[in-house]
Structure 1
Amino acid sequence: MTAITAGLVGAGCSHLLHLIEGLVFGDASGTLLHAISSVPWWHRVCALGGAGLIGGISWYLYARAGGKPVSLPKAVNGQKMPILLTFWHSINQIVIVGMGASIGREVAPREISASLGGKIADFLYLPPEQRRIIVGCAAGAGLAAVYSLPLSGAVFALEILLIEVTASAVWPALIISGGAVLVAHGWVRSDPFYTLPEAGQLLPTASLTLWAVIIGPLLGIIGVLFKSAVSACSAARPTGWRLLAWMIPIFTLIGVITVWVPSIAGNGQSTAQLAFDGAVLGQGGRAAAGIGVALLASLAIDGFTKLIGTLATIRSGAWGGTLTPGLALGASSGAILGILWSYIYPGDTTAIVCFAFIGAVVVLGTSMSAPLTALCLVIEFTHRGATLLVPTVVALGLGVGAARMWNKWRAKQAQ
C-alpha cells in the first residue's frame, strides 16, 4: 500500500511540475532551462516575481492557518504530519519550482509520501517501531518515484531517516522504494537525469586518482560549508508579512539575473549538466588551455550564481530541496578544480566529466551527511560511474573524514 501510494505521489508531483512549467513558459517538453531560454527577458522576470508573490501569500496563509512544517526525522520518530497542511506546504514548493524558483523539488514528494505512509500505518494499527519503518521508507520512496531512483530511495531511508541497516528495515525499504518506482515509471528505467558520455570514456587515470586523494578533503569541506550556509539561511527565514517583503524582491532579482544566466532558475540540473558536458582535455597545449579557460569562466559563473540563488531563495522564506543544488555545486567545483589540475599535471587526458562526477558525489555526500546515499544518487542520476568507483570512493572517504574534522574544529572554536 505504501509503495503504490508513494509511486502515485511521485508521478503526480512530476506531472504537476511539468504542467506548471507549460502554463508559465509555454513549453514543458524539454528542460526548464530550455523553456526559460525560449521566452523574452521580461517574461522570465515576471515569472520569478510571480513565483515570489504566490509563494509568499500562500506560505503566509499557511502559517495563519496553523501550519508548521514537520521535519521528516520528527515524522519518523512519531510526530503526526497533518495531511491537508502537508499537501498545502508541498504543493506550494512544486508551484514555485515550476515557475523557476532556484531550489530543489525533491522535498515535496518525500513529505506527502511520509504523511500518507503514517496514515496507512495508523489505519492498520501498526506498532510504533513498524510505523517508524513505514514512514521512513515512504519518504525515501517519494524521492525514488519522482526521479526513478529505486536503490537511492531505499538507501536514503536507511542511512538518513531510519539510521539502521537491519533485516527488519532493509527489506521494506527495498520493496517500497522499488515498488514506488515501478508504479511511477514501470519496470524499464527512464532516461538518465544527467547525460554523461559512454562508460568507455569515463576511465580513471593516475592523474585522476592522485587528484582525488589531494582534492577529496577540500570537496568535503565545501559540502560542509554549503550545509552550514543552508542551515543559517533556513534559521533566518522571515515570518508573517515579512515573507512578502522578502520573497517578492528576491525572486524578482533572481528573475533579472536569468536575463544573463538563465541556469540560475530551477533546481540546478542545468548547472550540473554544464559540468558533466566538459570535453576531454587535450595534451596540455594551447588548444587545451583555451578550452580550460573558457570552461573555467562558464562553470564559475554558473556555479556561483546557482549557489547564491539557492541560498537567497531559502533566506527569503521559501521551502524546498537542496539535493540537486548541492549536486550542482559539487559537479561545478569538481570540474573547476579538475581544469586547474590540468595545468599542474600537464599532458593529462582525463575527461572533465570525471572530475565533475567525483565532485558531485563528495560535496553531495558531506552536505547531506550521507555518503552512501550520495554515491547511489549520482550513479542512478547518471546511469554511469562503475568505472570511476576507486577514485570516487577514496575521495568520498577522505571528504567525509575532513568534514568530521572540520565540524569538530568548529565546535571547539564555538566553546
Structure 2
Amino acid sequence: MSLKLLTSAAVPRGPKPLGVLAAVTLLTGIGAGLGGMLLALLLHGIQHLAYGYSVAYLIGDESFLQGVTHAVPERRLLVLTTCGLVAGLGWWSLYRFGRPLVSIRQAVKSDDPRMPVLSTVVHALLQIVTVALGSPLGREVAPREIGSVLAGWLSQRAGLSVEQSRIMVACGAGAGLAAVYNVPLGGAVFVLEVLLGTFGWKALVPAVVTSAVAALVAQSGLGNEHQYLVQPLTLSASLVAWSVVCGPIFGAAAWGFTELTKRARAQAPKDWRMPVLSLLNFAIIGVLAMHFPQLLGNGKGPAGLAFDGNLTIALAAMLLVLKVVITVSSLRSGAEGGLLTPGLANGALLAIVLGGAWSLFWPGASLGAFAVVGATAFLAASMQMPITAVVLVFEFTRVSHDFLIPVLFAVGGAALGFQACTKWAPAMQLGSGFNWSEAGRAR
C-alpha cells in the first residue's frame, strides 16, 4: 500500500480538462473577492473602533486620515502602542508555533505551489489588524495571500497540473489585489508582469477572469469606489519637461528605498527581541503621530493630500523623511506588510518637493499633477513593475489618459535611474573599499 501511494504521488499530474480549470478559475475569483471584501471591512471596522470616528466610513463619508486627525493625540499614542504589542507578540507567536510561511513568489516557482493555510491566514490577519491600528506598511499583501492560498487549495483538490496550479496561485494573488483596491485590470497585469512574467494565453485568460470576478464580488460589499478622488488635472509643457528631467531622480530614490527595506527585513529578529523592538518602534511612531497624524496607515492619507495639492513643500518634505524612517523601522522590528501604497505615497511626496522647486522656474503645472506622475514613477521603479504601476495609478485616480505622456516619460526615466544605481552602487562600494552589504551582515 505504501509503495503504491509513493508511486502514485511521484507521478506528475497532467493538465485537467478545460471545464475543471474553468471551475477553479471562477471559484478562485469568487473566493478572492469575498476574502478581499471581508479583509477591507475588517480593516475599516478596527479603524473605527480604535480611533472612534463616525461609522460613516462604511459609505466613504469620512476617511481614515480625517478620523485619525480628529482623535486626541493621546489616543493615537495609545493605539500605536497597542499596535506594537499586537505586531510583536503576534508575529513572534506565528514564527514560534506556526508552520513556516511560503511567500507567493516561492509558491509560484515551486513544484508544490500550496501554501500553509493556517499560518498564511494568521499572517494576513496580523497585517490587516496592524495596518488598521496605524502601521505604516501596506495592506495589499494580505488579500493577495488569501487569494493565493485559496487558489492553491482549490488546485490541489481539483488535481490540476503543477503548471496550472502555479498559474492559479498567481491569479489568486492578482484577484485579491483587484478586490481590495477595485483594480481589475491592475490585478490581472500584476499577475502577468510581476508573478508569471508572461502574457501568454494560458496565463492571460485566467488572470483577467479571476481579477474581474473578484472585483465584481468585492463591489457588492465595498461599492464601486475609486481609491483616490482626484480633481481634474491639466497637461502642460512644464509637466512634460519635468517628467523627463526628474524621472531618473525618482528611480534613484526608489533604489535607495528598496535597499533600505531589504536590509531592514533581512535584519528583523524572529525571537524574543521582536516584541520588545516592535513595542518600542510603534510607541515612537505614536509619539510622532501626536504631531503628524498623516503618518498613520499605509500612506493613502498623504498620497491623497498630494494628489489634491493640499500639501506645502515643507510639510511634504517632512512627511517624506518620516514615512521612510518609520517604514524601515517597522520592518526592522519584525512587522510585516506591503510596500505598494507606501511607495506610492513616497513618490507623491517627493514629487511635491521636486515639482514645487521646478515651478519656481517654470510655472504652469499643479502640485497634484506632479504628484500623480511622481507616484507612478517611484512605484514602477521600487516594485520593478512599470506596466502594472501605470495601470494601477490610472485605476486608482481615474486621471485623464492625456497624462500617459508625462507618466511614461517619468516611468522610463525612473527605470533607467534604478538600473544605473543597481549597476554603479557595487562598483562605488568596491572603489571606496567599503561594502555596505557586508557591513549589514556583520551587524
Category of TM-score, reference length = shorter chain = over 0.9
Measure, in 2, the Cα distance between the counterparts of 1:49 and 1:123.
Answer: 42
Q: Does 1:391 align with 2:406?
A: yes
Tell me how far apart the structure 2 counterparts of residues 211 and 18 of structure 1 sit (CA, whole Å). Answer: 37
- Per-residue CA deviations over 1:67-105 (Å, capped at 9, x if unaligned) read 433221101123431101111111011111111111111
> What corresponds to 1:285 in structure 2?
none
Which of the residues 168, 171, 175 maps onto 1:134? Answer: 168
Aligned to 1:60: 92
Q: How far off is 1:350 after superposition?
A: 1.1
Question: Where does residue 171 of structure 1 map in the other structure?
Answer: 205
**1:358-377 matched pairs, under 5 angstroms:** 358-377=373-392
Amino acid across the alignment from 1:234: R
2:416 alignment partner, one of 398, 401, 405: 401
How far does residue 163 in structure 1 lie from its aligned partner after superposition?
A: 0.9
Q: Distance in 1 between matches of 2:162 and 2:355?
A: 48
Q: Does residue 298 of structure 2 align to residue 272 of structure 1?
A: no
Unaligned runs of 5+ in 1: 280-293
Partner of 1:144: 178
Task: Return the letter of the residue paired with 2:345.
Answer: A
Within 5 Å, give how 1:99-118 maps onto structure 2: 99-118=133-152
Alignment of structure 1 residues 192-231 onto 2, 5 Å: 192-198=226-232, 202-231=233-262
Change (3 A) 1:93 1:5: same
CA displacement at 1:315 relative to structure 2: 1.1
Per-residue CA deviations over 1:106-145 (Å, capped at 9, x if unaligned) read 1111111101100001011001111111000110110110
Residue 11 (structure 1) aligns with: 37
| Cα distance, 1:304 vs structure 2 | 1.8
Instruction: Give the AA of the match of 1:81.
Output: M
Give the structure-2-normalised TM-score: 0.87
1: distance between equivalents of 2:318 and 2:426? 32
State the Cα distance separating 1:414 from its structure 2 match: 5.2
Q: 1:382 aligns to what? A: 397
Q: How big is each residue's C-alpha offset from its partner over 1:342-401, in whole Å with a ceiling of 9 and x where there is no partner?
A: 1122xx221111111110000000000001111111111111141211111111112112
Write the distance in 2 (CA, Å) between the matches of 1:127 and 1:223.
38
- The 5 A counterparts of 1:172-187 are 172-186=206-220
Matched position secondary structure for 2:226: coil
Distance 2:367 2:339 in 1: 24
Q: Who is 1:82 aligned against?
A: 116
In percent, how many aligned pairs have the same letter?
Answer: 38
SS of corresponding position for 1:258: helix
The structure with the larger Rg is 2
1:252-401 equivalence runs, <5 A: 252-278=283-309, 295-345=312-362, 348-401=363-416
Please list, as runs of the form range in 1=range in 2, the aligned pairs for 1:44-55 lying within 5 A after superposition: 44-55=76-87
Residues 274 and 299, structure 1, Cα contact 8 Å, conserved in 2: no
Following TM superposition, by how much is the alpha carbon of 1:64 offset from its aligned partner in structure 2, in angstroms? Answer: 1.3
The structure-2 alpha-carbon separation of the partners of 1:335 and 1:385, relative to structure 1 and needing over 3 Å to count, comes to farther
Q: How far apart are the structure 2 equivalents of 1:188 and 1:389?
A: 28
Q: Is the 8 Å Cα contact of residues 271 and 306 (structure 1) preserved in structure 2?
A: no
What is the one-letter code of the residue matched to 1:6?
A: A
CA distance in 2, matches of 1:178, 1:186: 13
Between the aligned partners of 2:169 and 2:180, the Cα distance in structure 1 is 17
1:36 correspondence with 2:51? no
**Unmatched 5+ stretches in structure 2:** 1-26, 431-443
Shift in CA distance, 256/188, structure 1 to aligned 2, threshold 3 Å? closer
- Normalised by the length of structure 1, the TM-score is 0.92
Deviations for 1:313-358, whole angstroms, at most 9, x for unmatched residues?
A: 111110001111100000111121111001122xx22111111111
Deviates further, 325-334 or 304-313:
304-313
Q: Which residue of 2 aligns with 1:251?
A: 282
Q: Secondary structure at the match of 2:291?
A: coil
The one-letter amino acid of 1:54's match is V
Residue equivalent to 1:153: 187
> Could you report, residue by residue, the CA deviation over 1:190-239 in whole angstroms, capped at 9, with x for unpaired residues?
222112112xxx22222111111111111111111111111111111112
How many residues of Structure 1 are paired with residues of Structure 2 in the alignment? Answer: 396
